[in-house]
Amino acid sequence: MPDVTLAQSINAERLVLLGWSRAIVLQMTHPLIAAAVADHSHFRASAGAAALRLHETVRSMLSLTFGSAATRAQAIAGIRGIHRRVNGVLRQDVGPFPAGTRYSAEDPALLLWVHATLIDSVVLTYEALIAPLTPEERDEYCRQAAPVAVDLGVDQADVPASWPALQQYLSRTLTSGSLVAGPEARAIVDAVLFPPLSLVTGPFAWVNRLYTIGTLPAPIRDQYRFTWTARRAAQLQRIVRGLHAARRVSPRRLAWWPAARRL
């Protein structure tokens, strides 16, 4: 297999998908993002709609990470086309944002929050379930992920190009007072963590819910009114150890996405 970049080797791992729900929950604490999703996304309509949305999101990630230059450009154009259609106004006051505040999925500040929460959640999940990264590798992952944010409309000077810069940005935003889990955010997150078929998917939905809630910053967890106990923390530790052990003995043909194995 040819050499792969660090970003490719991290994004290749199927288990990293477990961190996406954490990123979504963090993203929804921004009232303008929650309003955009509530007004323009239909993934809550049915189990089929949720599955289709997940499939499309994974496909976009794989195209951006493993596709040719043409495939990557097509994926960027598709995402930007969707973003152009997503705009509107808040229907009610949420935190520091009064009713009538305009939102747009092309807003660089909102795009940056989405980018940062995803990078943070992916690295956290990779290190918990796959392998630790050195400080230099964390920095390199931030650098390799930055072009996608820029291509989607974030100013290059604003995109954290190192792990410390990313953490500083996250810390500033988390303490800025701009993040408030309003009614729309809680409804969206409830749909993510308690999907329509969660009674069927059972253990998978439970693991996703436990991992997501357990890895959230405590103030964000409190905003969503999630309870977290010593018993649940112990359950999470056992799940993480079990998944890590399973990954250690899993061949790449099972652990990696097919697009990654074709490199």
pLDDT in tens, 159-210: 999 999 999 999 999 999 999 999 999 999 998 998 776 554 678 889 999 9
Q: Where are the domains of the chain?
A: 6-251
102 strand-pairing partners: 89
Structure tokens at 175: 């303490």
What is 104-157 written as a DSSP string? Answer: ETT-HHHHHHHHHHHHHHHHHHHHHHT----HHHHHHHHHHHHHHHHHTT--GG
pLDDT in tens, 130-172: 999 999 999 999 999 999 999 999 999 999 999 999 999 999 9
Q: CB burial class (10 A; 0-12, 13-18, 19+) of residue 196?
A: middle
Amino acid at 150: V
Give the predicted TM-score (pTM) of the model: 0.94
Phi/psi class of residue 95: alpha, beta or left (left: φ > 0; alpha: ψ in -120 to 50)?
A: left
